[in-house]
Amino acid sequence: MPKTQPPPMRVISEDIPISGKQREGRATNVIAELLMAKLLVPKIFLKPRTLKIFLKPDLNQNAKPFLTIDVLAIDRAGSGDIHAVHIFLDQTKDLREQIKLATHVQFLLSYIPVHFKYIAVDSQSIDFVSKQQLFAKDGIGRVGIIEVKEIKSGPPEARIVIQPERFRVNPDAIKEFDKFQNRARADMEFRS
Amino acid sequence: MTTYQEQAEELLRAMKLLMEDIASYKSAVALLAVHSAIAFNDAVSERLTGIAHKGQDHSTASRKTRSACVKNKIDTSGIKHLDYLLSKKNEYSYSGIVGEKKSQDAALNAQRFASWAYRTVLQRESVNA
């Protein structure tokens, strides 16, 4: 007698709202996949909370880090360029959110010492964020923009809307990233 | 960066590009995986010994890399991925279309070998590179 397959389970969770943290988590995953495809065997860290590198050497020691790096990708198995993504999914409908997003972009632009920087936003915020100053003051480097498209029936999609341009990085900061890699385990990498 | 490393990276990038439509490029992905691993091995060998392997017998090149790594007290765990790809080189080259599963397998081994090469030998060339 042939075995009968149980009927597939009906998905009924589509209408259950998800929290901001869960939305950000889904975006984090899809952006990590995007960088995994774009770079050569990168090491990827998801929300590396222990990374306090942006406190030094470029930032005033008294300032508090209010901007988190949500995805950190280091090209060539941790030996290449450093890419950092900050995710901002609060739709910029009102002035307060717009000011917050503009501040985050400025902080990313001025203080995070990595080679490639990206701000990831929802589709509604693309227009607003692309009008911000994305170029470095010294002319070397531009913050890239990633659009996170949230789709009701499936996982979100991420695409690079503005390609980032390479920033100059203080060699001391790179040493700090190397130390960080020694103490933290990557969430995604090609193991040998 | 040596020309061997540049070539290896070019082949790996091409492999990744074709992987976006792997159903149409199964054999090409598998062959690029093998050749990127051979080029990465040449880059590693050149870095360790000053000379890259010349010739068609790639298993000799693999043995030389292993021996150079042992001499320099470098972890050799990643060389098995190169050996695996070399053992499949003839099959991928002369047995017609390579299946999708085998092709994905080849790509994974190539990326693991590249990752090992960067971590152990190629590493960061300059602090700002």
The answer to whether residues A112 and A138 touch, using CB atoms and an 8 Å cutoff, is no
- Note whether B69 contacts A: Cβ–Cβ < 8 A: no
Residue B110 Cα, gap to closest chain A Cα (Å): 10
Percent above pLDDT 70 for chain B: 95
Q: Please report the pLDDT score of residue A43 as a whole number.
A: 96
Nearest Cα residue in chain B from A175? B127
pLDDT winner (highest mean) among A54-68, A161-175, B115-129: A161-175
Quick one: pLDDT band at residue A13, thresholds 50, 70, 90? low
The answer to whether residues B122 and B47 touch, using CB atoms and an 8 Å cutoff, is yes
Partners of B112 on chain A (C-beta within 8 Å) are 190-192
Which of A72 and A68 is assigned the larger pLDDT?
Answer: A72
Packed helices B3-19 and B26-49: angle between N→C axes, nearest 10 degrees: 160
Separation of alpha carbons A136 and A134, rounded Å: 7
Model pTM? 0.86
Residue A45 has pLDDT above 50, yes or no: yes
Q: Please report the pLDDT score of residue B127 as a whole number.
A: 41
Quick one: pLDDT band at residue A10, thresholds 50, 70, 90? low
B26-29 long-range contacts, Cβ below 8 Å, gap at least 24? B26/B97, B26/B98, B26/B99, B26/B100, B26/B102, B26/B103, B27/B92, B27/B96, B27/B97, B27/B98, B27/B103, B29/B98, B29/B103, B29/B104, B29/B106, B29/B107
Q: Which of A5-9, A71-75, A97-101 has the lowest mean pLDDT?
A: A5-9
